[in-house]
A and B are shown apart, each in its own frame.
Chain A
Amino acid sequence: MNDEKLANLVEIVPKRGYLSPNELIKQRHVEIEPPRVGLKRTHNENSPEELAELEIAYANLRTQLSVPRIERLAGRSLATYHKDQQVVEVLKKDGKFEHFGYSHKGKFYLEYYEALFLVELNRLQLEHEGMILSMEQNYNFLLGPAACDRYNHYLVYSCLSRLGYIVVRHRKPEVSRDDCIWALLEEKISHKPIVDDIRTSSFFNELQSQMEASTQRIISQEFQSQHGSTEFKYNFGKRKAYEEYSPASSTVRKRVCLPTNQSLVDVLKADCSYFKFKRIFQKFDIVKLAKTTATSYNDKIKLNIIFDLYLPNEGFRKSLCQTPSFYVVILPMGALFPTHNDIARLQSSVPLLIISVSESKQIQAFLYYIS
């Protein structure tokens, strides 16, 4: 039985060898004579010149195709796939891993899409139980055998990375004290709902009670003597400096995906001819813009931000908490595009890139502007 099995086995002898430095140099830039230039021939003449020319052309083609594929020995990083934990652990690095991977308990790991991307670029050799994985096995292990969203995520990752963007897994921005104060103020003034992230932050309860206390103080007009107005000096110089410091453009940019409660099509009101007829037009200002309030957010958040996008040459570093240029939302297969309320609910101060992957795997990105 065993012998039979063995007889059926085919031994594969790898066709590889090692080249000496001299041979290696010889193999560089092998020059192949270009095909004949001149007018295109439309029919066979069968003349001796033509036959000779054909022979040369075939020979050239053969040399071109039989140039040996030369690779640097150990020119790839080495990683191993842990099937039980479904993680890719890097064993040996080759080159810089600038924005790739993450460290956990002293070990360096790659995300599934990063691993597959590096394998496709021939920069990584992925092994499982000591065996090198084939391309098909890589896809199978890293993306799963069945069609799923992982495949689309990988597609978007690889496409954007190849274009030069720095794509990293979405990291929730840390909620600062200032963010909490602003959220509380906006809730008080324009009844904007407070996002859960801010509600659960450590500053929230403290600040909320502080604000309540000050409101009560203002309402009841009970000023304590140490807060007397005589000792208070307003530093105008400081305020001016602050105003100069904060450029107007940054505030405009900040409001991209936030509900502004302002119309997007108000531009013509700045037209000089509008002022002549302003009173007539204002009479028809009957239908109002809907205000985004807490009641518009009654259902659950359904948009998930998958990646953060940074521009190249902007000095991205993993250790720094920088604000990304875009948040990437990848629409699940067959999903509807997000509505005004879906976008408003995310309360994102960073522009959202809504990416849809069509059935033919074509990637299209959309930007939303909302009132």
Chain B
Amino acid sequence: MEFKVQCKRKRSHFKNNDAAPLPLPEEGLQYEGVFTGLSVDVTQPDQVKSLYDNGCFGKGSKSRGGPESGDPDESLRLGLEEACFLAYFLNVLQIKDLEGKVIEWNDFLNFSRELNERFMEHLAAYVYLKSKYWVIKSGIKFGGDFLIYKQSPRHFHASFLVLIQRPNEKNHFLAKNLKGVQRVAETSDKDVLLLSIEQSTDGESKTPENPSEAIEDMCIQETVVRRFNYSSFVQSKRQKKNN
């Protein structure tokens, strides 16, 4: 009954031995992205390649996953949390608005909160999982908030479907919702990871001065819910006994 994380390898022959888990450009250099109102777009082809190869950030604007269409004007779309992490935690990305003005942390936070009222929780979960070496992608196609991969989506199937909630929220614990999301995850060999994110102080009203301050008073509870096949369990125990 011990908990074991499932990591299922993909049948792919893709190899990239130089890939780093984070894009770390040379001293003084920064990637450039434009905030379009929905995502942060990186357009320069060498930057697109570097960002996707090192840490699998973003999604190709003309592809299903990474930028693979081969089209020269394909851009890399970074999600809000990804862009925020690259720009203000790792300091390797400069985010500009459509007019070419650099967006500072406070403004970016305000824009993101307008788009997603739980942006702070999502960001905290993103940084939390990132520090544990996971590759994080959007979970929208499986009905969750994030999908987390070992190494890269090119090599592994996602191990967890992550759902994010506040402590007093009960929506994910409704029987039909939990069973539904569990079923979707199970058919694709994933586990459901429920992250309950609590803020110890009331951080809603004020705008934090710097990125780490914004999330340092948050703490996370992890719950994994797995379906238990009781009929095959008892049968397997019996067979072991007979053998």
Pairing of A with B: yes
Residues of A participating in the B interface, judged by any CB pair closer than 8 Å: 160, 163-165, 252-253, 256, 263-269, 271, 273-274, 277, 280-282, 284-291, 311-313, 331, 334-341, 343, 351, 353, 356, 358, 364-371
A288 to B220, CA, bound (A): 6
A199 to B89, CA, bound (A): 47
A351 and chain B: residue at smallest CB distance: B1
Instruction: For the A-B complex with A368-B225, A370-B224 known, give 7 more contacts whose Cβ atoms are closer than 8 Å.
Output: A265-B148, A267-B5, A282-B131, A290-B219, A312-B238, A313-B237, A364-B227
A353 and chain B: residue at smallest CB distance: B228
A341 to B198, CA, bound (A): 13
In the complex, chain B residues whose CB is within 8 Å of the CB of A370: 221-224
Q: Smallest CB–CB gap between A277 and chain B, Å?
A: 6
In the complex, chain A residues whose CB is within 8 Å of the CB of B229: 365
In the complex, chain A residues whose CB is within 8 Å of the CB of B7: 267
In the complex, chain B residues whose CB is within 8 Å of the CB of A365: 227-230
**Do A311 and B178 touch across chains, with their CB atoms under 8 A apart?**
no
Complex partner residue of B222 from A263, A274, A277, A312, CB under 8 angstroms: A263
A182 to B124, CA, bound (A): 35
In the complex, chain A residues whose CB is within 8 Å of the CB of B223: 339-340, 343, 368-371
**Do B234 and A265 touch across chains, with their CB atoms under 8 A apart?**
no
**Do A366 and B230 touch across chains, with their CB atoms under 8 A apart?**
no
Complex partner residue of B221 from A265, A271, A290, A367, CB under 8 angstroms: A290
**Do B173 and A273 touch across chains, with their CB atoms under 8 A apart?**
no
**Do A265 and B193 touch across chains, with their CB atoms under 8 A apart?**
yes
Of B150, B160, B179, most buried by chain A (CB within 10 Å of CB) is B179
Tell me if B187 counts as interface (CB < 8 A to partner A). Answer: no
Q: Which residues 1-53 of B sit at the A interface, judged by CB distance below 8 A?
A: 1-3, 5, 7, 20-22, 24
In the complex, chain A residues whose CB is within 8 Å of the CB of B119: none
A-B CB contact pairs (8 Å), 28 listed = A252-B2, A253-B1, A264-B3, A265-B5, A267-B7, A268-B132, A269-B132, A274-B21, A274-B133, A277-B22, A281-B131, A281-B133, A285-B131, A286-B131, A286-B215, A289-B221, A290-B198, A331-B175, A337-B225, A353-B228, A365-B228, A366-B226, A366-B227, A366-B228, A367-B1, A368-B225, A370-B224, A371-B221
**Do A277 and B20 touch across chains, with their CB atoms under 8 A apart?**
yes
Q: Smallest CB–CB gap between A6 and chain B, Å?
A: 55
**Do A337 and B173 touch across chains, with their CB atoms under 8 A apart?**
yes
**Do A311 and B228 touch across chains, with their CB atoms under 8 A apart?**
no
Tell me if B114 counts as interface (CB < 8 A to partner A). Answer: no
Complex partner residue of B133 from A268, A339, A356, CB under 8 angstroms: A268
Complex partner residue of B231 from A163, A269, A277, A331, CB under 8 angstroms: A163
Q: Smallest CB–CB gap between B179 and chain A, Å?
A: 7
**Do B132 and A336 touch across chains, with their CB atoms under 8 A apart?**
no
Complex partner residue of B150 from A268, A290, A351, CB under 8 angstroms: A268
In the complex, chain A residues whose CB is within 8 Å of the CB of B130: 281, 284
A337 and chain B: residue at smallest CB distance: B173
A271 to B212, CA, bound (A): 26
Tell me if B174 counts as interface (CB < 8 A to partner A). Answer: yes
Tell me if B216 counts as interface (CB < 8 A to partner A). Answer: yes
Complex partner residue of A367 from B127, B175, B196, B226, CB under 8 angstroms: B226
Tell me if B128 counts as interface (CB < 8 A to partner A). Answer: yes
A160 and chain B: residue at smallest CB distance: B230
**Do A280 and B173 touch across chains, with their CB atoms under 8 A apart?**
no
Q: Smallest CB–CB gap between B162 and chain A, Å?
A: 9
In the complex, chain B residues whose CB is within 8 Å of the CB of A367: 1, 225-228
